[in-house]
Structure 1
Amino acid sequence: MRVKSANLQHDRLSQSKSMVLIDAAEVTKPISRHRRNHSQHYVTDNLINKSFLVNQNKEGILNKTKISEKGKKLRKSWMTTYVVLSEERLEFYKDAKELTANLKSGTKSEYIDLCGAQIEWTNEKSSRKNVFQITTESGNEFLLQSDADVTVQEWFCAIRNTIDSLGTVKPFSRLSVQKSASTEILHQGLELKEKKSEQRKSLVFKLNYSASDSSDRNKVKTRLKKFIIRRPSLKTLQEKGLIKDQVFGCHLETLCKRENATVPHFVRMCIEAVEKRGLDADGLYRVSGNLSTIQKLRFVVNQEEKLNLDDSQWEDIHVVTGALKMFFRELPDPLFPHSFFEQFVEAIKIPESNRQLKTLRALVILLPPCNRDTMKALFEHLRKIVFNTSTNLMSTQSLGIVFGPTLLGSESDSGNMAVCMVYQNQIVELMISEFDAIFC
């Protein structure tokens, strides 16, 4: 006879349920009767089953190109590659033979880490059809493509499912999967408790340190204040020779006063060197010299070392002319002072030639002596360059273009820059061509 029991209905239900199970792993897996065991292993069992169902390997041929690496755009270079989709990445091989060889030798291949990646269809980044883009968490961008519509759809869905299953955190390792949920929660609580205790200790240490060290800090502040009050002034240091004024970037009047002259010594040296060995040089003042050599010359001049422009290291005449242009360009107040700029512009606008020259001559006379004498020496030098225009190919117009923005300009940037540059060039051209009428 068959004995009825209280568990009979439950047994029949479990038997009927087992007959419709699809997953063989779930059929053979024993049913846990204990509630605690069931709660501990529920999360990890679901993770194992999810990874088993979603992360199935897929292989095939696709066209691939890399268009960006960490935000930097790359040139597209399509290539046919054998692609393998694994649990958490997309691997690339030349063909199936290379895949087999790499598996035997353990060689690593190029791959895309799909953890935290994004996938989307794109038609704007390539003229090919069926193109989709994968953007990795590190900012690398790849395009994948296939002419077969069904093939590329299958690949897109498989990769998207893998990315969705991974999320933004990499899957658990075998060791971490074996841990129960309650153990992980316990470890997290202990770690959080340790961090809080460490923060309390550091806070207490800071409070004790600040309280005990406040008197020492006040003493240091007092000493620093006394030192700053007692420190010598800039004028005192200059008088003792500890700080020397430089030549480049110094006010013209200050430099001339220091040298007890109305034309800076460096300007005279450059003019003499050019007239001695460079008047016939092609593109004089227009061609740029070696910048590093010009900076080296500038350093020598600023350090007040003995300068000999006939030395072999300064044999390129364009280095000398480049240094002279740099000197005028770095003047805090240009050779044509800011306060005189508008007056010179109004003078160049005068249509009558005689009145124009008289106005310019009167303005030159009103300039400070160092500006006037330096200007006279420079324009007399530029006139000699124009006399040799057949060899150096530097006309009055060419010199006006070179020296216009260097020698004069407005203190404010208001107004039309192009119109302002035209006036600058015209003033320099007229000062060169009418040198005798203006300066003599």
Structure 2
Amino acid sequence: MQKSTNSDTSLETLNSTRQGTGAVQMRIKNANSHHDRLSQSKSMILTDVGKVTEPISRHRRNHSQHILKDVIPPLEQLMVEKEGYLQKAKIAEGGKKLRKNWSTSWIVLSSRKIEFYKESKQQALSNMKTGHKPESVDLCGAHIEWAKEKSSRKNVFQITTVSGNEFLLQSDIDFIILDWFHAIKNAIDRLPKDSSCPSRNLELFKIQRSSSTELLSHYDSDIKEQKPEHRKSLMFRLHHSASDTSDKNRVKSRLKKFITRRPSLKTLQEKGLIKDQIFGSHLHKVCERENSTVPWFVKQCIEAVEKRGLDVDGIYRVSGNLATIQKLRFIVNQEEKLNLDDSQWEDIHVVTGALKMFFRELPEPLFPYSFFERFVEAIKKQDNNTRIEAVKCLVQKLPPPNRDTMKVLFGHLTKIVAKASKNLMSTQSLGIVFGPTLLRAENETGNMAIHMVYQNQIAELMLSEYSKIFSSEED
């Protein structure tokens, strides 16, 4: 009996030893084979921090997607240059004015566009990852300027796109809004200019390109598959007219080569096939072509405003319809006959908007870059008579097109001020509107807010002391 008991005990010990060894071997096997461990466990595995991790798919395509998603961040994140909270108001879409509603937005600036998010920073970043598309602004060909007259708030600037969308951005903190202004302006300056921006080229070549596209589509339509009921006749015709199809393909190929080899805008201008435009050209070049010292378009706009706009409330401050302004701009650039008394230009704010756009798009402003610092030093003088003499001396040194155009423009604006009781446009109001448009530094390295103050003061002085500053030309 004792012997039997001992053998049973030995058997139990052996079995327990084998079980222990098997468990150890299983653990070793599991530790050495990562993929086998994943395949054996179909359930979710709890990590050390208590989070649930899904089993990784062993399919090769899925595995590569995991790697690309984890290693390569989205392109938008790589290109982000600046982000933060600002006050935003969209005031126009496609040239159509919108009601101004301010809201706090999370702004993300990349190398080519600005994105507006309504949510907080964390939600905005989450939407980026999930592919949610926010409101976006393409900066190619866009224009940025300070817009003090557009809002009673301080530190407001405006972004205008080539598609006619207008946005106001604002912050009460000076250094924040200035930092944003410079960042967006630098992004716009780095992008292609008029000759290489697709949206600008559309205006110049839309007639020629549309005709070429129609011709290509004509040949495409002949080759496309017809409706089912016509398939038999189509196959019959293709069988008996293979040579015709070959000829059409050759013509189509030649057309494509012709379109792709078309000369650039610069080449066409050099050959004289496309003349220089009025908007966006240097002031002296426009005057040389017209054999004058004051552009014809400036004279025509001033004449129209003085005829029917002197008593209009907010003249030069209120913006006209941007789409109509762009239409007027296109007609002037194409050197078509322009009659501002036509009913399509009955809104005088369209005329004033086009005139401001002309001065804003000058490659060099009406007050040349080389004179900017000298005018600023003149306006800083404490004695009023000394200040007037300094500005007068600088005006006399300007090139004739700049000096004469300046004289005509400010002479016209003095007539606006004379009717201030009706149009509510004082010297200060016109200084705010025209200061940044007519004067700007070539390189904005200083304090923009300080420069804007001087720009307004110079324009105000030119208006209030017009007769003294331009007295030598009037005698």
Q: TM-score, normalised by structure 1?
A: 0.48
Q: TM-score, normalised by structure 2?
A: 0.45
- Computing the radius of gyration over CA atoms, which structure comes out larger, 1 or 2? 1
